[in-house]
Structure 1
Amino acid sequence: MNSNRSADLAALLLRLALGVLYLAHSLQKIFVFTLPGTAQFFVSLGLPGWLGYVTAFVELIGGIALLLGVQVRWVALVLLPFMLGAMSAHLHNGWGFASPNGGWEYPAFWAVTLAVQSLLGGGALALNAAKAPRAVAA
């Protein structure tokens, strides 16, 4: 397997994993915690409640876009500040994921994976990967 093919498959694997996880986390905010509950959680962190709604929406659209492979570099860059915000919200909890109320390590890892995805692009089977045939000069 050549290195370009390996990179395309690695980008695909990362993109699908991120897409599934973002979709799951957005649906959790919407259906388990509920949007008002998510907003209240954001308020408890000292953030505006409306940011909970925005976060759930961005994660939902971002997860779907990642799964489909639509504008992957841009989607990863849009999601990145949300993970940096989550990381800063968890700074006082300590480093580890197992810390009470979760540490900043988990969102930091997500931020790194988003940065990598933005550099790699969508990889194999991304909808944006299909290119229209070029017109041949006569």
Structure 2
Amino acid sequence: MTQSESASRAIALLRVASGGFLLAHGLIKVFVFTPAGTVGFFESIGFPGILAYPVMAGEVVLGLALVLGFMTRWAALAALPILIGSIIPHAGNGLLFSNPGGGWEFPVFWSLVLVVQAMLGDGAYALGDPTKRNS
């Protein structure tokens, strides 16, 4: 395997892992916490409850897009506001995510992963960006 092939597969691994985690976070909000429960949680931490709906939809749709490698750069950038928003409720809990209430290290790291993914692009095994295909 060449270095280029290896890098392409590594980019794909990063894409699928971050997309899979994003998808899992969205699905748990929908099926375990329920939309009403997620709205209540958002309100309990000072966010408008209505924001829960675009967050759930974004996590599911953008997570799936990343897993599939569909418009990867745009999906990663579009997911950034969700992750940056998730830093806010953890900001006062200290750095470490093991702190009570969860610290801000994990949401910051995940935000950086999305920035890196946007810079790297699709990697191997991706559907790609349909606007850049030759007909």
Given the two structures, how large is their TM-score scaled by the length of structure 1?
Answer: 0.90
Deviation (angstroms), 1:129: 6.8
Unaligned runs of 5+ in 2: none
Aligned length: 134
Q: Indicate the RMSD between aligned Cα atoms, in angstroms.
A: 1.7
Q: Distance in 1 between matches of 2:16 and 2:116?
A: 14
Letter in 2 for 1:124: A
**1:35-81, Cα deviation, whole Å (9 max, x unpaired):** 11111111111110011111010000011111111000000000011
Q: For residues 1-138 of structure 1, what are the structure 2 equivalents within 5 Å?
A: 1-128=1-128
Q: Is the 8 A contact 2:29 2:35 kept in 1?
A: yes
Among all aligned residue pairs of Structure 1 and Structure 2, give the percentage whose two residues are the same amino acid. 47
Q: Distance in 2 between matches of 1:128 and 1:72?
A: 7
Given the two structures, how large is their TM-score scaled by the length of structure 2?
Answer: 0.92
Q: Is the 8 A contact 2:97 2:105 kept in 1?
A: yes
Q: 1:125 to 1:42 in 2, by over 3 A?
A: same
Deviation (angstroms), 1:93: 1.2
In the TM superposition, structure 1's runs of 4+ consecutive aligned residues that sit over 4 Å from their partners are 129-134
Letter in 2 for 1:66: L
Deviation (angstroms), 1:9: 0.7
Q: Distance in 2 between matches of 1:10 and 1:129?
A: 19
